C-alpha cells in the first residue's frame, strides 16, 4: 500500500507541474502582443484657415494689379488692373463673392455676388484648387478644361502682412450687406473698395480705386495719387487733407478735412478695423 500511495503522489505532482507549464506557455504565445503606446499623429494643415488674408500676384508687372483677399467669414474680394489702367477695359475692376475650400483636395469654389471685371477673377466656371506652400498661395486653374493642371495653369501669390497700416481694413460703420474697405500694400499702393447693399454694377460708385500713397512719419498726413478710378470719385481720389492713424495694429482712423476748414471735426473721422 505504501508503494501505491507514493506512486499516486508522484502522478499528482506531475500533473500539477504539467498544468503550470501549460499556463506559462500560453502567456508567451506569439499571438499575444504587448500594449502599444498611443502615437499622436501630426496635425494636418487646414487650408481653409491658411488662405485667409490678402495675397498679391507674383506675376504682375510694374503698373499692374492683381490681388485676392480671403476673409474668415467666407467672403473673397478680387481686384485686377492691367497695364492699360483703363476703366473701359472689361477685365479691369473688382469682384466680390463667397468661397469655400475642400480641406481634403483644396478644391476652391467661388460664387460672385458683384462682378465688375468681366471674366477676370474667380467668376468663370472652371476647376480651381488652392494650396499654401512655404508662405505662398498657389492658385491652380484648369483653364483649358482638360481635367489636368498644366504647368502654365498655376499662379503664385505673396501675402501682404497685416502690420502697421499694411493689409486690409473694414469700415466699422458699414451696413451688414455693404462693403467698404481699404487695403495698403507694401509697394506704396492702396486699394479702396465700395459696394452698396444693392450690389448693382450700374451704380458708378460701386467698384474699386487704386493709387499711390505716402504717410508722413511725423504728422500722419496721408497723401494719395490716383492710378485707376472705377468708383466715380468716391474713396481717396478727391483732393482733401487726410491723416491716417493706426492704433495697436488693429484700428485705423482716417481723418478727412471734408469741409476744408483746416479742422478735423468728429464726423470727419472714419474708423476701420481688421476684417
Do 64 and 121 lie in one domain? The reply is yes
Task: Give percent of the chain above pLDDT 90.
Answer: 76
What pLDDT score was predicted for residue 49? 66
Q: Can you give 39-106 as a three-state secondary structure string? A: CCCCCCCCHHHHCCEEEEECCCCCCCEEEEEECCCCEEEEEEECCCCCCCCCCCEEEEEEEEECCCCC
Do 130 and 187 lie in one domain? The reply is no
Per residue in 48-64, pLDDT tens? 668 999 999 999 999 99
Residue 19 domain-assigned (yes or no): no
What pLDDT score was predicted for residue 261? 94
Locus of grid cell 492683381: 66
Do 152 and 172 lie in one domain? The reply is no
What pLDDT score was predicted for residue 36? 52
CATH code at position 95? 2.40.128.640
Give whole-number Cα distances, 156 to 58, 111, 141, 152, in Å.
6, 21, 11, 11
Do 101 and 191 lie in one domain? The reply is no
Do 83 and 119 lie in one domain? The reply is yes
Do 83 and 107 lie in one domain? The reply is yes
Q: Of 129, 159, 189, at which residue does a domain stop?
A: 159
Do 150 and 86 lie in one domain? The reply is yes
Query: Cα 107 to the chain's mean position, in Å?
Result: 14
Residue 11 domain-assigned (yes or no): no
* Parts of the chain with a pLDDT under 70: 1-46, 48-49
What pLDDT score was predicted for residue 127? 95
What pLDDT score was predicted for residue 104? 84
Do 55 and 113 lie in one domain? The reply is yes
Q: Of 122, 141, 159, at which residue does a domain stop?
A: 159
Do 95 and 128 lie in one domain? The reply is yes
Whole-model pTM: value is 0.81
Per residue in 161-218, pLDDT tens? 999 999 999 999 999 899 999 999 999 999 999 999 999 999 999 999 999 999 999 9
Q: Are 254 and 270 in contact (CB under 8 A)?
A: yes
Q: How many domains does the chain have?
A: 2
What pLDDT score was predicted for residue 103? 83
Residue 24 domain-assigned (yes or no): no
H or E element: which one contains 150?
none
Do 114 and 70 lie in one domain? The reply is yes
What pLDDT score was predicted for residue 35? 58
What pLDDT score was predicted for residue 44? 53
Q: Are 183 and 172 in contact (CB under 8 A)?
A: no
What pLDDT score was predicted for residue 11? 37
Residue 37 domain-assigned (yes or no): no
- Domain with 65 in it: 47-159
Do 155 and 171 lie in one domain? The reply is no
CATH code at position 261? 2.40.128.50
Q: Of 126, 159, 192, at which residue does a domain stop?
A: 159
Residue 110 domain-assigned (yes or no): yes
Do 55 and 136 lie in one domain? The reply is yes
Locus of grid cell 483644396: 106
Residue 4 domain-assigned (yes or no): no
Amino acid at each position: 500500500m505504501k508503494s501505491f500511495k507514493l506512486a499516486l503522489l508522484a502522478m499528482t505532482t506531475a500533473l500539477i507541474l504539467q498544468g503550470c507549464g501549460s499556463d506559462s506557455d500560453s502567456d508567451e504565445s506569439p499571438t499575444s502582443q504587448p500594449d502599444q503606446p498611443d502615437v499622436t499623429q501630426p496635425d494636418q494643415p487646414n487650408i481653409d484657415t491658411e488662405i485667409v488674408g490678402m495675397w498679391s500676384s507674383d506675376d504682375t508687372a510694374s503698373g499692374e494689379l492683381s490681388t485676392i483677399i480671403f476673409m474668415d467669414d467666407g467672403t473673397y474680394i478680387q481686384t485686377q488692373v492691367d497695364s492699360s489702367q483703363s476703366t473701359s477695359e472689361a477685365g479691369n475692376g473688382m469682384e466680390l463673392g463667397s468661397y469655400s475650400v475642400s480641406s481634403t483636395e483644396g478644391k476652391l469654389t467661388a460664387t460672385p455676388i458683384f462682378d465688375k471685371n468681366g471674366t477676370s477673377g474667380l467668376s468663370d466656371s472652371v476647376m480651381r484648387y488652392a494650396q499654401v506652400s512655404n508662405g505662398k498661395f498657389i492658385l491652380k486653374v484648369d483653364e483649358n478644361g482638360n481635367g489636368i493642371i498644366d504647368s502654365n495653369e498655376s499662379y503664385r501669390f505673396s501675402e501682404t502682412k497685416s502690420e502697421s497700416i499694411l493689409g486690409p481694413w473694414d469700415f466699422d460703420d458699414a451696413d451688414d450687406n455693404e462693403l467698404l474697405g481699404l487695403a495698403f500694400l507694401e509697394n506704396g499702393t492702396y486699394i479702396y473698395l465700395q459696394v452698396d447693399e444693392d450690389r448693382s454694377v450700374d451704380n458708378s460708385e460701386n467698384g474699386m480705386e487704386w493709387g499711390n500713397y505716402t504717410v508722413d512719419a511725423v504728422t500722419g498726413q496721408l497723401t494719395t495719387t490716383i492710378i485707376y478710378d472705377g468708383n466715380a470719385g468716391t474713396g481717396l481720389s478727391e483732393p482733401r487733407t487726410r491723416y491716417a492713424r493706426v492704433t495697436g495694429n488693429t484700428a485705423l482712423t482716417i481723418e478727412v478735412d471734408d469741409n476744408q476748414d483746416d479742422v478735423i471735426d468728429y464726423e470727419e473721422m472714419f474708423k476701420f478695423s481688421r476684417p
